[in-house]
Chains A and B, each alone.
Chain A
């Protein structure tokens, strides 16, 4: 069940996705954190962010929309308040970071590079809820919607850290392979995909959008087939590991992603429903391998 991504070794391929697991301490009493392959913490930014107006979430058929807007206390608070606990868990910690410009990514990465207990950095260049903030990407889009911007951000971070870099990609693009390749050529150790799909819901009684931010990111089982297709396409076209994500609710879903070419998976929305789901999925994958007499996870592939 061991998995290697860049320089980090995971005891199983199931990660808790960023933004769905807080800073792990929230689940201290509910979950055995040692059963999780890796924990990706809620995205942090250089300065604190208050996030978007309420309502921030709404359920949709087979999924949910969110427009949290990267609410976080900023990197200083993260290092002081969150890192001491995270360092003690014993499960690899991947810190998700985002910035309003290349400099912010650069400064964040340089600061976090000094912290030994951080295993990897995940570059969140794909949050759909902060569009048009700061970036000069064409049309006010996301970094992950532009291969040049993606390349530059990854390159900047690569310069200041020897830690494993994972780039989180957006599905809201015409050609996700192009973005994945840009990330790879800039020195990313892996890519994780997909972040949420930009979506919207309207209350027909009040005739208002259901989210304060009007649009939000769609997640949950309803996005799985599209996410799976993207993981399949990307993993055929790049050489660095692909971490699959998008609507994984159980071990069967996770196995599907691995069959599509992912070396590991991230579980997001499912944590909201069942805090212990990551460990359960890891166990389920192990059972699957046993049942099908497959020795190692790496031997699991499409026939």
Chain B
């Protein structure tokens, strides 16, 4: 869905999110958080219809007005310029592609060598492959059932890719997807001593850091997914 939100588009960073009031009525009551999917003067969000809020959104027509609050949260940190030969590996699982396309586009703009891995249960659920390919030449796909790309979890594909790519680069891994997958990728990164930034999805009420509903346990105590995140350094998290 494309939203005409020039102010948000101007300042939004990859990995940040917006809070959308899906309906004007009291049902649903709270806003719903959505990653900023792409930015091009407008902002785009990518969502799966899973509940009442997204169902209402899916019935919106072109030109409808929507109340959007953002950009919120802390996004991905791009590889530091002090790194000698930076390389980014983006790993997306299912709808976890949502915040990563904008990231891939920003990395490409900075000429940072980037590899993208997309995983999903089955072929139909592989999202944004074309969008990634427009930004980044190296895009690999895996499906759990083997209907498209390599067979198995995306973590298996990650292992495989690591064997083939050159190891001289200073690698930063960016990952978004289901919890189990994030943990698995984080562990691989830890073994290899790669910096790993994960984008977490939590249910939120406010999205602005006041309700304390979206707590994430970290080595330095409770953090908030909405305010301190949604992107965290995986080595900081207590899974």
Q: Residues of A with Cβ closer than 8 Å to B?
A: 19-22, 26-27, 30, 42, 50-51, 54-59, 61-64, 66, 68, 71, 220-221, 249, 269, 271-273, 275
Contacts and interface: CB of A to CB of B under 8 A. Distances in A.
Contact of B26 (A249, A271, A272): A249
B209 interface: yes
Interface string B10-36: 000000000001000011111100000
Interface in B127-186: none
B28 A59 contact: yes
Interface of B: 21, 26-31, 69, 202-215, 221-222, 227
A273 B31 contact: yes
A62 B212 CA distance: 20
Contacts of A68: 211-213
B213 A271 contact: no
A47 to B, nearest CB: 14
A27 B210 contact: yes
Contacts of A62: 26-27, 29
A64 B221 contact: no
A51 B26 contact: no
27 contacts: A19-B211, A19-B212, A27-B208, A42-B210, A42-B212, A50-B221, A51-B212, A54-B202, A54-B215, A55-B203, A55-B213, A56-B214, A57-B205, A59-B30, A61-B27, A68-B211, A71-B215, A249-B26, A269-B29, A271-B206, A272-B205, A272-B207, A272-B208, A272-B211, A273-B21, A273-B30, A273-B31
Given A50-B221, A57-B203, A66 B213 contact: yes
A221 B21 CA distance: 16
A263 B206 CA distance: 28
A249 B159 CA distance: 52
A34 B116 CA distance: 48
